[in-house]
Structure 1
Amino acid sequence: MLIRIISLLSGALLMAPVVTVAANDAPIMISNLSPLAALRGLPTQRHADVQLGSIVTVSQSLSNHFTVEESGDESLMLDGQTDVLSASLRYGFNPHWDIEVTLPWVQHSRGFMDPLISDWHAFLGLPNGNREAYPVNELQYRLHQPRHEAALNNRVSGLGDVQVALSRNMSLKEGPQVALSVGMKTATGEEADWLGSGATDYWALARVSGDYSGRVPLVWHGQIGMTRAGVSDLMDLNQKRSLWFGGVSLAWPFRDKWSLLAQIDAHSALGDGNLNALTRPAGILSMALRWHVSPKWTWDLGFSEDLVVESAPDITFMLTARYVASP
């Protein structure tokens, strides 16, 4: 169902009339920060256009996890908070080429959001996932499978897995912008602390971006790609190494300096076995408010929820600043 929704949205976007796209109309900078999904090289969405000069993006994300599942001889518990401070530098060295480096600083901790989320669920009449049966604001990551055990229960922080990507804009005229990109996730994060996978991943993808200039102006983006992941000791032998990913993003500039954004991101299951959290595709719905401070500066404030239950954090809050430098 999730793949069908993305396909329908992508088709509708490709049929819309378009004009050129500005760097400040970029998608929301969000990824799946669930402790196991975050180990994989699944690149965030971005605009397909290439600009000469530098674009610097700094994003702070706070993600709350609560997944408790047991099936047969397998069990999974993810209870804690992941905070990621990510800095991205993109440099357009040619009208059609740019290179991007992303450095994440990752922290796993007990956090502070459990009571807020339980109160929010109660206010909306939503199920609370049996949170009340477990200690509040605890850190407990544990994956148990036959002949495999991985766990983390102490607060840790450090450099995560650095990502590098090279992109080429394939468009030769105004209209929809199409780009191809290849990239890699390095093994710079400490695997024992769940800060990285301990392996190098590679990906290739295609992106498309454009504007709809009708009565309700919209900026749209889409991407689809494949990742070939290295073997991580934090996951058992059933881990999947060939992963698809994709997403669509919409921005509505409802005021001169303000935009509302909605975005869907998805990727394939992380592995095989009996645990739904690892064997079902992941889906994330994100929304954000963007303030265009100036032609060079934008600020985003937003959140994301798991569309496919337990495939992503219960909720992620994000604050992002983006600066577009002159070439």
Structure 2
Amino acid sequence: MGACSRIAAAMIAVSSMTPAAGAPPDAAGAPPRPFALFDQSPTAGIHGLPRADSYAVAEPGRWHAGLALDYTSHYTTQQAAGEQLVFDGETTRAALVFSRGFGDHWQASIEIPFVDHSGGFADGFIDDFHDTFGFGDGGRSRAPRDQQAFRYRRDGRLALDVHDSPSGLGDVRLGLKKRLADIGDWSTAVAGQLELPSGDAGRLTGSGATDVAVWASIGNNVSGLSDWRLAAGAGALYSGAGDVLADQRVQTVGFGWATIGYALTRDFVVQVQANTHSAFYDDTRLEALEGIAVQGALGFDWQVTERSGVTLAIIEDLNVGASPDVSFALGLRHGF
């Protein structure tokens, strides 16, 4: 069974679970936990957009470990004067995430990703999903199934051409976060991230640039007594031109997210989320490169035991053509 098939099977198994009665309470006081998402487009996911996050940090001396699995199905064909673009394929990103708490509400983290682009296996399922819920498919149902091609032709030359189902180490991320003072039942944090060019820009597992992101986040339920989980964050990303469409790169990009969740039980929260970011490229008329990406997510956060939890979300593009067609995100976490 291939890696993508194993991941899909894991998602199906997790989504069939129901919260166990009498599960241990969340020792961290049930802070909001946004879905740890960012845009997985072939030309955006290579850059250092941070994952959505809240104000929570690990306790001093404690470690948190996590596995973030992002499966994304791409299909868009766009053209304008002198430009043609095709993104067709699937991307699986599996990342190990480790964080450690320090004194005075500081937390350091590292994310080590592996990225796999392929023709995949799920085009038929995605077609049925769009038909069931009435979502537009951008012509996906008329295209050949299970092929991989990320191509961008500009002024008669191929500016981007990745079609051999590459995979490899992605760009490693180093993070630092500081939780600030509480204000009633709300708390805030500031954070920064450094993404290192450890991936391969030619295979679209990295950008070839060093990226720096800074942001602030806010959320409720410091007391742990509210049924609602509210969180939001916003910030800016700066990166070098890198090796992917370098002459069209926008080096400063804004981003943000907002999450609303409701606790059906103390340990099981259903939530919706919106993520957005400004364009990574200019000097183009193609939405996939210069559009403002807006993605909507629906799913749950389940604190399975006192130290372990799982999240599962499905993500759709709300500004069609500016971000991937559909994604699934599975997150596993454990505290030590």
Moved more, 21-30 or 75-84: 21-30
Q: Which residue of 14, 27, 32 corresponds with 2:34?
A: 27
Report what 1:47 is aligned to.
54
Q: What residue is the counterpart of 1:102 in the other structure?
A: 111
Question: For the residues of structure 2 that align with 1:164 and 1:216, how far apart are their CA atoms?
Answer: 32
Deviations 1:106-149 (A, max 9, x none): 10000111111112223344433222432111100011224661
Q: Does 1:285 align with 2:285?
A: no
1:308 aligned partner: 319
Aligned with residue 64 of structure 1, among 73, 78, 91: 73
For the aligned residues, what is the CA RMSD? Answer: 2.2
Note if contact 2:31-2:229 (Cα within 8 Å) is conserved in structure 1: no
Shift of 1:63: 0.5
TM-fit CA distance, 1:98: 0.8
Which amino acid in 1 is paired with 2:132? F
**Paired residue for 2:86, among 77, 83, 93?**
77
Check whether the contact 1:69–1:77 (CA below 8 A) recurs between aligned residues.
yes
After TM superposition, the score normalised by the length of structure 1 is 0.88
CA distance in structure 2 between the aligned counterparts of 1:276 and 1:32, rounded to whole angstroms = 14
Deviations 1:236-266 (A, max 9, x none): 4122110000111122111233110211110
Q: What secondary structure does 1:122 align onto?
A: helix
Which whole-Å deviations, capped at 9, do the CAs of 1:260-283 have from their partners, x for residues lacking one?
021111000121111112111111
2:44 is matched with 37
Alignment-mate amino acid for residue 277 of structure 1 = A
Task: Note the 1:89-168 alignment, pairs <5 A.
Answer: 89-146=98-155, 149-168=159-178
Counterpart amino acid of residue 291 in structure 2: R
Name the counterpart of 1:258: 268
User: 1:150-193, CA deviations, whole angstroms, 9 ceiling, x for partnerless residues?
Assistant: 11111111110111111111216663211111221110001111
Shift of 1:78: 0.4
Structure 2 unmatched runs, 5+: 1-26
Q: Are 1:21 and 1:219, in contact at CA under 8 Å, matched by a contact in 2? A: no
Q: Which runs of 5+ in 1 are unaligned?
A: 1-19
Partner deviation per Cα, 1:219-250 (whole Å, 9 max, x = no partner) = 11111101111112221412211000011112
For 1:54 and 1:252, locate their aligned partners in 2 and report how far apart those are by CA, in whole Å: 27
List per-residue Cα deviations over 1:40-89 (Å, max 9, x = no partner): 11101112122321121212121000010010011111000000111111
What is the distance in 2 between the residues matched to 1:131 and 1:240?
A: 29
Q: In structure 2, the residue corresponding to 1:119 is in which secondary structure?
A: helix
SS in 2 for 1:39: coil
> How many residues end up aligned between the 2 structures?
306
Q: Which residue of 2 aligns with 1:199?
A: 209
Mapped to 2, the partners of 1:139 and 1:230 lie a distance apart of: 27
Aligned counterpart for 1:171 among listed residues 181, 186, 190: 181
2:114–2:169 CA contact under 8 A, matched in 1: yes
* Counterpart-to-counterpart distance in 1, 2:63 and 2:30: 11
> 2:248 aligns to what SS in structure 1?
coil
Say yes or no: does 1:223 pair with 2:233: yes
* Separation in 1, partners of 2:166, 2:147: 13
Match of 1:37, SS state, is coil
How far is the alpha carbon of 1:25 from its aligned partner?
Answer: 3.6
Q: Is the 8 A contact 2:170 2:200 kept in 1?
A: yes
Mean CA deviation greater in 28-37 or 232-241: 232-241
> Corresponding residue for 1:180?
190
Please name the residue that 1:14 is paired with. none
TM-score, normalised to structure 2's length? Answer: 0.85
Paired amino acid for 1:297: S
SS in 1 for 2:185: coil
